[in-house]
Amino acid sequence: MSTPPYAVGTSLDGAGDAPGAWRLAAASDLTAFDGRPARDAAVLAESAGLVFATLDDALALQPDEPGRVRGRLDALATACWLGPQTSRIGLLPTVTLTHTEPFHVSTATATLDLVSEGRAGVVVDVSTDAASAAAIGRRAPAPADVVWGQAEDVVEAVARLWDSWEDDAEVRDVATSRFVDRERLHYVDAPVRTGDPAPDGLTGAFTVRGPSIVPRTPQGRPVVAVRLPAGERPGSARWRASALRADLVLLGGSDLAGTQDPARLVRAGAEGRELRVLASLRVVLGDDDDHARRRAQELDALGTDDAPVFVGTAEALAAELVRTSTTAGGWLDGVELRPAVLADDLPRIARDLAPRLAAAGLLTDAPPGSTPPGSTLRSRLGLPRPASRYARAEVPA
Amino acid sequence: MSGPRQLHLAAFLQGVNHTTVWADPAAGSQVAFSSFEHMARTAERGTFDFFFLAEGLRLREQKGLIHDLDVVGRPESIAVLSALAAVTERLGLAATVNTTFNEPYELARRFATLDLLSGGRAGWNIVTSSDAFTGENFRRGGYLAHDERYTRAAEFAELAKELWGSWGEGAVLGDRASGAFLREEAVREVVHTGPQFDVRARATLPPSPQGRPVIIQAGDSEEGRTFAASTADVIFSRHSTREAGQAFVADIRGRAVSSGRRGDDVKVLPAVSWVLGDTAAEAAERAQHIRFQQVTPANAIAFAEQVWNRDLSDLDPDGPLPDVEPVEGELLSQGRAASRRIDRAAVSAQWRELSRSRGLTLRETAAEMSSHQSFVGTPEAVAEEMISFLDADACDGFVLTPHINPGGLDDFVDRVVPLLRERGRFRSEYTSTTLRGHLGLDGRPL
C-alpha cells in the first residue's frame, strides 16, 4: 500500500487551545457567541492549505473554574454555518453520542456533508458527566466503558443510516411516476445498547429502523474520528471504538515521540481496516526558542491544564512532523495542531510552518488553493469513498 | 405604525409531498445546498419574513412499502438552516421540529446556536407526534399517548424558553484582567420537574439579539389551538380560504386574549399556493396543467387508496371512482398525519359527488380534491386578492408553498412582490435585523 497523503489540521475552539488564551489582548473576542472567531480561523487555515479543522463541544456548560471560557455554540451547527464560507477544508465538529438520538446524529452529520459538498467529518465523543446527564434528564451518568460501548453501537447505527439510500436510489422515472426506487432504500434495524437502566424504566437496547430521510451524501459516509487520549488502555471500549470504527484516530500524547506505541497498537487493532492515525498537539510557536518559551510562560500564568504542548519554533516543529511522518518512515499520517492562541499561533502556522511542510511534501494543498474543486475530505485523506453496504453486487454478465 | 396593514410573507419548503412537481424540466435537486440557497436568496430578495422547512423523521409507506411516487429525501432542518444563515443576512430561518422525539435541553441549544449564528433570525415550528411508526426510528419508540402530545409540547416549550432566558443581562463579562468570563450569579440553573421532563441544567448560550427563537405552531385540534394561542408567535394555518381564515383568525385572537395576550401578539399565516399567468385564462390553464403534473395516474390511485384505505391498484385512473366502500382499521398509509384523522365516509362521498356532478374520472377527481390552488390569476389579481384577505382579517399574511424546487418562488418575487410594495402592503426593504422584528412582535422576550 502506498503512503497516504499527510494530513495537517487545526482546532478552532474558543480563542485557542490554551485555557488562558482568551485573556490575551490579541485574542479574538468570544463574548458575542456569533461564530466569527471560528470562521476567521477556518478561513485562514484553509488559505494555508490545511486539510481539516475540528470544533470541540460538550453538552453541558463548562464547569466554573477560574480563568476559563464558559459557554459555547453547538459545534455541528457551527460547522454547517462554516460550510458555505469555506471551500476546501474538512470540517469535523465534536458530537456527543451518549444522549442524542442516533437518527438525529446521522441526519445532521449527513447534512453537514451536503452543505459542505463532501467535507464533513465528525469527532465522536461521549458524556460521562453528571451535568450532561441531568440536563437531558433521561438517564443517570454512566462510566466511560459503558458509554463508549454504547457509542460503538451508535456509530454503527449512524453509518448504516448513511448507507440506507443507495447512491442511485433517486431515479425520477417519469414513465412509472416513481421518484425513488424503493428497492434501493433499506431498513437498517440497528440495535443500540442503552447502557444502563434509565429512570423511565427503559432498559437494554432499542432499534433504529431506518431508512434515513437524507439520501446518500457526496462522501457516502462522513469521516468518523475518535480522540484517543494518552494512556488510554488498549482494549478499553474507547480504544475499541477507535480501532474498529474510526477513519481517523487523534492520538493524545506527552509529545510526538509518545504517540509511537499507541499508533502501532491501534493500527494493529484495526484488523486490516483502513484508518489514519494522527497526533493531536497544542502548539506554542515563537520567533525563536526563547520567544516561544516566554509565550508559553505567559499563557501558563493565565491558566494551565495537563494538555501536551509543543513549545518552539515553526522550523523545529516542521522537522519533528517530518521525522515522525509515515512519509519519512515514521508512524503518523498527520497531525491536528491545536493553536494555543488562535490569533497568534494559527497565523504562525500559516506563515512559518505551512511552507516548510509544503517543501517537505507534507502539505497536499500546495500551493494553497491548488486542491481541485470538488475534492472531498475523504479524498484529501486518501480514504476511498465507501460503497453502500446495502448496494447489490453487480451481477457479472 | 400608521398606514394600511402590512402583509407578512414566508416561503415553505415541505420536502415531502405530492405537490412538488419533480418531473418538470425546471425541477432541481431536493437535497443539494444550491437548491436551498437559491430559494432562500430569492425569499430574501423578496424581503420575506422567513424561510421555513418541514420535518422528516420517517419515510412514508403505503401498503407496507416505502411510498415512491413523491419527492422524498431531505437534509436535517437545523443543520441546513445554519448553513443558510451564512449566505443570507436578514431572512428569518425557521425549522419544524418535533417535541416527541427530542429532548428540551439539546434542542434548545441547537436552536440557540442557529439564533446566534444568524444574528436573531431563528424560528421553531413546534410539532407533536405520537406516531409509533415514526417512533421506530427513536429510542423511546411510540411511547407517548395521543392525548399527551400537547402536554409534552407545552412542557417542552416552557422548558426551552426558560433555558433561552437563563443568562441574565450582563452575564457575559469576558474580563481578561480578572479572568472572569461569566458573572456566575447571572447564569441561572434551570430546574424543572414535570410529568414529561426532569431536568437540571445550565444553558451554554446567552439570549440572541431577538431574545429567543420565534415560536411557530400549526396545531388545529382543540388542544392544538389552545396551545398555539397561548404559546406561539406565529400560527401556520391550513385555513387558506377567506371564510375559513376569518373564522380561524377570530377564534385564535379570542383564545390569545383569554390566555392573557393581545390578539395581535399571534400572527396567523395560512399556507397557500399560487399560479400566475399574463391573463386569467392563461393562469387557469397553467393551474390545470400543474394539477395534472401533481396528480399522475399512479398518484391518483395512491390518493384514492389513502381515502378508501384499501388496495385499489386494479382501478383505471382514467375510469370511474371505486364502487366499493372505504374500510376502517389498520392504515394502509403510514407516516401521514392526515391519513389518521380523515373521515372516510364523508370524504369519499365528496369525491363521488364531485365526480358525478362534473363527470370527472378518478384522476380528474383526485386532482381537484388533492390540489387546492389558492391564488390563480394575473399578478395584479393575485396581489389584490391577497390584500383583500388581509383587509378581511382572514390572515396576517401567507406562507407560500412553491410547487417547483428551487425556482418556484421566482415568479412570485419578481411579479407579485413589486405590486404588493407599490400598493404599500409589503416592505420594500428590511427595517429590522431579527425575525421577531420583521414580524412586528413587541419586545425582546428573555
The answer to whether B186 contacts chain A (CB < 8 Å) is: no
Contact B319, B362 (CB under 8 A): yes
A96 within some domain? yes
Q: B4, B2, B6, B3: which is closest to B440 by C-alpha?
A: B6
Q: Tell me how far apart the alpha carbons of residues A170 and A182 are, in angstroms, rounded to a whole number.
A: 9
Q: Which residue of B has its CA nearest to A190?
A: B137
The answer to whether A2 contacts chain B (CB < 8 Å) is: no
Q: Tell me how far apart the alpha carbons of residues A17 and A290 are, in angstroms, rounded to a whole number.
A: 21
Q: B296, B313, B304: which is closest to B344 by C-alpha?
A: B304
How large is the average pLDDT for residues B391-418?
97
Q: B111, B430, B168, B75: which is closest to A110 by C-alpha?
A: B75
Q: Write the residue in B59, B112, B299 that is nearest to A213 by C-beta.
A: B59
Least Cα separation, residue B350 to chain A (angstroms): 26
Residue B283: is its pLDDT beyond 90? Answer: yes
Could A71 and B206 be called an inter-chain contact, meaning their C-beta atoms sit closer than 8 Å?
Answer: yes
3-state DSSP assignment of residue A76: helix
A256 within some domain? yes
Would you tell me which residues 123-142 of chain A have a C-beta closer than 8 angstroms to some C-beta of chain B? 131, 134-138
3-state DSSP assignment of residue B71: strand
The answer to whether B32 contacts chain A (CB < 8 Å) is: yes
Q: Which of A76-90, B340-354, B375-389 has the lowest mean pLDDT?
A: B340-354
A82 within some domain? yes
Q: In sequence order, what E strands does A139-244 have? A: 170-173, 178-180, 190-193, 205-208, 223-228
Give the list of residues 6+ apart from residue B234 with CB closer than 8 angstroms, or none.
Answer: B123, B214, B215, B216, B217, B266, B267, B268, B269, B439
Residues of chain A with pLDDT under 50: 199, 201-202, 397
A14 within some domain? yes
pLDDT score recorded for residue B446: 60
The answer to whether B141 contacts chain A (CB < 8 Å) is: yes
Would you tell me which residues 283-322 of chain A have a C-beta closer than 8 angstroms to some C-beta of chain B? 302-303
Least Cα separation, residue B364 to chain A (angstroms): 17
Q: How large is the angle between the packed helices B242-258 and B379-391, nearest 10 degrees?
A: 30
The answer to whether B80 contacts chain A (CB < 8 Å) is: yes
Q: Tell me how far apart the alpha carbons of residues B51 and B399 are, in angstroms, rounded to a whole number.
A: 9
The H or E element that residue B217 is part of is strand B214-217
pLDDT score recorded for residue A395: 54
Best of B76, B78, B136 to disrupt the A interface by mutation (most A CBs within 10 Å)?
B76
Residue B143: is its pLDDT beyond 80? Answer: no
Could B117 and A77 be called an inter-chain contact, meaning their C-beta atoms sit closer than 8 Å?
Answer: yes
Domains and CATH numbers, chain B: 8-146+203-278+373-438 (3.20.20.30), 296-370 (no CATH)
Q: Write the residue in B116, B137, B299 that is nearest to A34 by C-beta.
A: B116
Q: Tell me how far apart the alpha carbons of residues B168 and B202 are, in angstroms, rounded to a whole number.
A: 12
Q: Write the residue in A115, A170, A185 that is nearest to B79 by C-beta.
A: A115
The string of pLDDT tens digits covering residues A233-270 is 999 999 999 999 999 999 997 789 999 999 999 999 99
Q: Tell me how far apart the alpha carbons of residues A77 and A72 are, in angstroms, rounded to a whole number.
A: 11
Q: B376, B366, B372: which is closest to B296 by C-alpha?
A: B366
The string of pLDDT tens digits covering residues B70-113 is 999 999 999 999 999 999 999 999 999 999 999 999 999 999 99
Q: Which residue of A has its CA nearest to B100?
A: A101
Least Cα separation, residue A24 to chain B (angstroms): 7
Domains held by chain A: number: 1
A304 within some domain? yes
Residue B14: is its pLDDT beyond 60? Answer: yes
A301 within some domain? yes
User: Residues of A with CB below 8 A from B136's CB?
Assistant: 207-209
User: Residues of A with CB below 8 A from B174's CB?
Assistant: 22, 29-31
A98 within some domain? yes
Domain that holds residue A58: 7-140+218-381
Q: Tell me how far apart the alpha carbons of residues B279 and B380 are, in angstroms, rounded to a whole number.
A: 10
Q: Tell me how far apart the alpha carbons of residues A243 and A252 are, in angstroms, rounded to a whole number.
A: 15
Domain with residue A15: its CATH number is 3.20.20.30
Q: Which of A88-102, A191-205, B368-382, B406-420 has the lowest mean pLDDT?
A: A191-205
Cis bond leading into B320, ω under 30°? Answer: no
Question: Taking the CB of residue B240, how many other CB atoms lie within 10 A of it?
Answer: 23
Least Cα separation, residue A261 to chain B (angstroms): 38
Residues in chain A: 397
Mean pLDDT of chain A: 94
Contact B197, A200 (CB under 8 A): no
A134 within some domain? yes
pLDDT score recorded for residue B339: 66
